[in-house]
Chains A and B, each alone.
Chain A
Amino acid sequence: MRTNILISFSMLCFVFAANAGTLDKIKKKGHVSCGVSQGLAGFSAPDGLGVWNGIDVDICRALAAAIFKDPKKVKFVSLSAQQRFTALQSGEIDILSRNTTNTLSRDTSLGLNFAPVIYYDGQGFMVRKKDGIKSAKDLSGASVCTQQGTTTELNLADYFRANRMKLKPVVFESNDEVTQAFLKGRCDALTTDASGLASERSKVKNPNDYIILPEIISKEPLAPAVRHGDDKWLDVVTWTVNALLTAEELGISSKNIDSFKKTRDPKIARFIGKTIGNGKALGLDEKWAYYIIKTVGNYSEIFERHVGKDSPLKLERGLNALWNKGGIMYSSPMR
């Protein structure tokens, strides 16, 4: 871990200077370098065969599909919460798609730019059922396990300070250690994003021994991030996310996209590249959005597959439904 930081540090000193032209660089090397987590079911986790799966992973696959027409042209780099920003800043990865919250300081002093939000989350607490805790307000004096260097760690301190409660934080670098420490009883509560809690709860042997408290103590808009200073690349990432949402809105999915080949709807014609212009503007193939949806699927398909009703997590769409279906997911028009 220390060596990792040192490597990133030396990379910061040397490699750094060349940062423009990320898209050209990616086209030349033939793959997208995608920073993901060390294993968070539903967002980014390797399966039994070592294939990465999750919402965050599919964002990178969609990018590869848009650039190379092939969602497999991605190299995943597994990063701790600690390493993620340095890895992006130093150019080790092209995009950070790692359940990362968009905040002011990250957007500014960390030198990042965020694409549209791909999952609206909020921080919650998980406790043991037999402890009889009913509300987060009961947690004064409790030991709370959390991951180092996350917004979670800061929100936790804020929440306890605001409610004048005493906090005994136990922090680890890796998410696995945090969860293990909680399961072994080192802590009274585990805190992370609500989706993360559901993901951890789905993995334990007796999920019913644990409960997730009703309080959501923060806003966690999770979004992919890229480096400052390369607007063209940010545009590609931004519109890739928008394409996923637009497809759901237009009712285009991986299963039916080929049936729109002769469409007369101008929106759909622009989307699948029948009417040209969008691809050239982004520096991509005119059928970029077609390949995304054909190979990866639209936002709804990705959501249900990894965290929704087709997954062990069984999360509701909630805020993450489209704007016209009670949520706040809203894509800018693709024209």
Chain B
Amino acid sequence: MNFLKSEKNREYLWQVLFTLSIIAFFTFILRNTQSALDKQGIASGFSFLSQEAGFEIGESIIDFFSDDTYQLALLSGFLNTVKVAFIGNILALALGFIVGVTSLSDNYLVAKLSKFYVESIRNIPLILQLFFWYSIFTEVFPSVRSALNPIGGVYLSNRGLYLVSFSDHWFFNILPLIGILSVVAFFFFKKRSIKSLERTGVARKIFLPTLLFFILVSFALWLVAGLPRELSWPTLAGFNFEGGVHLSPEFSSLLIGLVLYTSAFNAEIVRAGILSVDHGQWEAASSLGLNKNQTLSLIVIPQALRVAIPPLISQVLNLTKNSSLAVAIGYPDFVSVANTSLNITGQAVELVLLIMLVYLSISLSTSLVMNIYNRSVTLKER
């Protein structure tokens, strides 16, 4: 019995027993489910994914028609989730940052307004807010035939927002790519500026060269493309507008709801982060002759971010997961499409597993990226 006398061995034994019982538990569930499904003659397995879906999806980034497969339908729903989560998180972080900073402002009115915003928004359940924003579209805005037209090329109705856009020309399609290149260029110019600051004491300009880069590259490509100028105007054709960019009421109200709700939490996190910075830092900065804005952007916020980023990561994940409330207001996100598929195929086990798997991988990859960023801003002790 020497083996059990060692405390380390006993600890290992417990861990092994625990792991085994978990494995046994899940094996039991799996086998029980399989035998029960077989007994009732319910189809199982993932072969349905390559069958024809048979339903249409209201809005989709990729081309999807009812004769495409379930696989493509689920991909389309997945991309809709990613779309609303990606745009939503950028806006929620930006808005949360602004509200968080202004809630600490010396201006009484601004500070109180920010407080009011935070307290009212984060204390109302998200689903109610979604219904509210959706009802704004259906109740307040006029029908598509008498759409509001505040300025040329903008139409607002209960079918959503239609905007004038660039026509479908390869030059316009690669514009976002040039934008991404410009961001890369921005970091390049920033690095160069810091290098020059360290060597000569004079910082070089960052924004101007970035802007010039963007304009020159775009202009050059525009010349190459043969000066395309056509715009795509939304025009009333039959039942709905055709052409332009369309933001559906479902997408818009989901985005607005998610952004406002999450930004209230983000604002509190940013505020807490700023307050966590020691008062001595403000005093030290002002004794160096920095003004309030410089103190905030150069001294306080970099230190506040270290505290704020880990909880902000969980808010990013929260927004992503909350986007699954989309089904309540008819936005075809991943859960909605998976639910429809579930109902047609009846393969609840497989599809619920898929839903869980997809959200798990979205969350894990988001937190991976955010954690890498977090590591880059944490205090580096030398």
Give me the interface of A with B, judged by CB distance under 8 Å. Answer: 1-2, 5-6, 8-9, 12-14, 16-17, 19, 81-82, 85-86, 89, 105-106, 108-111, 139-143, 148-150, 153-154, 156-158, 160-161, 167-173, 177, 180-181, 184-186, 188, 227-229
Contacts and interface: CB of A to CB of B under 8 A. Distances in A.
B62 interface: no
Nearest to B237: A141
Q: Pick from B35, B36, B242, B328 the residue with the most CB of A within 10 Å.
A: B36
A168 B32 contact: no
A19 B39 contact: yes
A111 B41 contact: yes
A13 B336 CA distance: 22
Contacts of A185: 138, 143-144, 158
B interface, how many residues as a size bin? 35 or more
B42 A111 contact: yes
B240 interface: yes
Interface in B142-165: 143-144, 158-159
A158 B54 CA distance: 7
B158 A184 contact: yes
A2 B239 CA distance: 34
A185 B239 CA distance: 11
A110 B346 CA distance: 5
Interface in B46-83: 54-58, 65-67
Contacts of A13: 29, 32-33, 349
B29 A110 contact: no
| Pairs A-B, 9 closest by C-beta atoms | A149-B343, A110-B346, A16-B36, A111-B42, A109-B43, A157-B66, A184-B138, A111-B40, A142-B239
A172 B239 contact: no
B42 A109 contact: yes
B348 A5 contact: yes
Contact of A148 (B43, B329, B340): B340
Contacts of B352: 5-6, 9
A12 B240 contact: no
Nearest to B35: A17
B240 A168 contact: yes
Contact of A169 (B35, B40, B42, B56): B56
B340 A2 contact: no
Contacts of A156: 56
A206 B55 CA distance: 32
Given A16-B32, A169-B56, 9 more contacts: A82-B343, A141-B237, A142-B238, A143-B240, A154-B344, A156-B56, A171-B330, A184-B139, A185-B158
Contacts of B40: 16, 19, 89, 111, 227-229
A142 B58 CA distance: 12
Given A12-B349, A14-B32, A141-B237, A89 B42 contact: yes
Contacts of B346: 85, 89, 105-106, 109-111
25 contacts: A5-B342, A5-B352, A9-B349, A13-B29, A16-B32, A17-B32, A82-B339, A85-B343, A89-B348, A106-B346, A109-B345, A111-B43, A140-B238, A148-B339, A149-B339, A161-B67, A169-B56, A171-B332, A171-B340, A173-B327, A177-B330, A184-B158, A186-B159, A188-B239, A228-B42
B345 to A, nearest CB: 7
B324 interface: yes
B240 A228 contact: no
